[in-house]
Amino acid sequence: MVFTPHGRHLIAGAWVSGETTFASAPASGPVHRFSVGTPALVERACAAAEEAFWSYGYSTRESRAAFLEAIADEIEARAEAITEIGTQETGLPEARLQGERGRTVGQLRLFAVHIRKGDYLDRRHDPALPERQPLPRPDIRLLERPIGPVAVFGASNFPLAFSTAGGDTAAALAAGCPVVVKGHSAHPGTGEIVAEAVHAAITSLGLHPGVFSLIQGGDRHVGTALVTNPLIKAVGFTGSLAGGRALFDLCASRPEPIPFFGELGSVNPMFLLEHALAARADALGAGWAGSLTMGAGQFCTNPGIAVVLEGEHADRFTQSARAALERTGAQVMLTEGIARAYREGQARFEARNAVTPVLSTESEGRMARPNLYETTAEAYLQDHALGEEVFGPLGLVVRVRGPEEMAALARGFEGQLTATIHMEDADLAAAQALLPILERKAGRVLVNGFPTGVEVCDAMVHGGPYPASTNFGATSVGTLSIRRFLRPVSYQNFPQGLLPEDLR
């Protein structure tokens, strides 16, 4: 299947052209032009989503499950074309795009299974106690209900799994919420073909066309208009701290504030305990380098900091990591802007006396080479900038003088998506002392692994205390993420015929 983008927006079932266009900036292949989004298009899409909610928000779980499965089928039917344009736009290898497509359709189907089971509804019932003294108790039932239209922002680093039909969209549609997507200008063609798949599923099942719209980017006012539209009831976002915080503030300042579920990234520290470092320093260094450079380091769970006990084993670990990084060639980054920010992040490290270069390389254009630096816990705690995420294959080794200093360093970290403990059985006591700190810092704590991969499942948490995310009680990956787009409603003294179907 050959796919040539037409460059239009999908607004409530109609492909709409804008007055102005922007050119794509692919890593390879042809340049295409796409219509620039406008606040007027946002208003149309949101109005259609609100209209669709009155049918879709009250549809059966089975019909929504069938819709999610139909989207997955339509994406798979376009598999080769999605891979082709995805690799052209992002520079990601085919295997990565194929794997990400598998994750995308997998999470759609996982949510179909999840809502069929019905556990997410959190159904509760307190029967009436008419004889209770001094006052009788009424009959009270509880059910989770969808909140209304949801805005989703496509992510630059995941053109499929976190974008048009990615996790936020899947969770919102599963909950019964129509979705308005703001496409990311880094991969507009990929967004368009996936939107075609969603549109095909809507058409085949006869759903209200306002259940899904895609508005391409190209203008920052589109995002502002979307999060401030009074019909939008929640926002899902994956991106930078600066961009996410700006949108979060807009959501909070609305006449009716709404939740902003922003996943903003982190440095994902790893703590290498004494016996693990002594037993596996070389293997841990090589493994860290592989995780650090996976996808050119463009994962929000990229483990950017390794905390080690100073000494000869720390030397072995650092040199092993350096050797593995030296063998890694330059990798293409997702956009020119991300590549430029990576070079600026490296320059920030190079300009600091608090760090020592272990491997310092030059990156040019859209290509990135790995870099490695080293510092002490004392220097790290005195320089807040060392804890800021550098999006790309850059690592920092922080040497500590003992378990007490390691614990102090852990307390000094801001909120993280992940934190990792590398340990042997003999490290159990040290790990037990460290764990309560890490639980307060991260949404996911790992033992003897690397956090770059995120499993889509019931028990996964992809979120954490600020600034890793704007809502520490939520996750953007896994079936628990559906709760972001639901709210509990109590039904008191309802006759059976009036109760929602899921409570009868």
Look up the CATH architecture of domain 269-447.
3-Layer(aba) Sandwich (3.40)
> Which of the following is catalytic: 50, 100, 196, 263?
263
Which residues are CB-contacts of 420 (< 8 A; sequence separation ≥ 6)? Answer: 268, 269, 270, 271, 303, 445, 446, 447, 449, 450, 451
CA–CA dist 223, 247 (Å, integer): 8
Residue ranges, the chain, pLDDT below 50: none
For 9-18+32-264+469-503, the fitting CATH number among 3.40.605.10, 1.10.1530.10, 3.30.465.10, 1.20.1540.10 is 3.40.605.10
Q: Which pLDDT does position 217 carry in this prediction?
A: 87
Closest C-alpha to 165, from 134, 139, 190: 190
- pLDDT score recorded for residue 298: 94
Same-fold call for 9-18+32-264+469-503 versus 269-447: no
How is residue 64 written in tokens? Answer: 């929504």
How far is the C-alpha of 247 from the C-alpha of 4, rounded, in Å? 32
457 is catalytic: no
The CA distances from residue 346 to 239, 281, 295, 298, 375, in Å, are: 20, 25, 18, 15, 15
Give me the residue spans of the domains in the chain: 9-18+32-264+469-503, 269-447
Annotated catalytic residue, options 196, 274, 300, 389: 300
CA 58 to chain CA centroid, nearest Å: 28
Q: Write the pLDDT tens digit of every residue in 351-390.
A: 888 899 999 999 999 999 999 999 999 999 998 888 899 9
Total length of the chain: 504
Give me the pLDDT at residue 462, please.
97
- The predicted pLDDT at position 484 comes to 98
Q: What is the pLDDT of residue 219?
A: 81
Question: For 191-218, how does the pLDDT look when each residue is reduced to its tens digit (9 = 90+)?
Answer: 999 999 999 999 999 999 999 999 998 7
Nearest to 267 by CA among 374, 368, 391: 391
What pLDDT is recorded for position 323? 97
Which residue intervals of 126-187 are DSSP H helices?
Answer: 167-175
Give yes or no for a contact between 321 and 270, defined as CB atoms under 8 angstroms apart. no
pLDDT of 220: 87
Residue 453: per-residue pLDDT:
85
CB atoms within 10 A of CB 402: 12
Is residue 46 part of the annotated active site? The answer reads no
Note whether 210 and 48 are within 8 A (CB).
yes
User: What is the number of alpha carbons within 13 Å of residue 452 lying toward its C-beta?
Assistant: 21
Q: How high is the pLDDT of residue 1?
A: 63
CA distance 359 to 373: 7
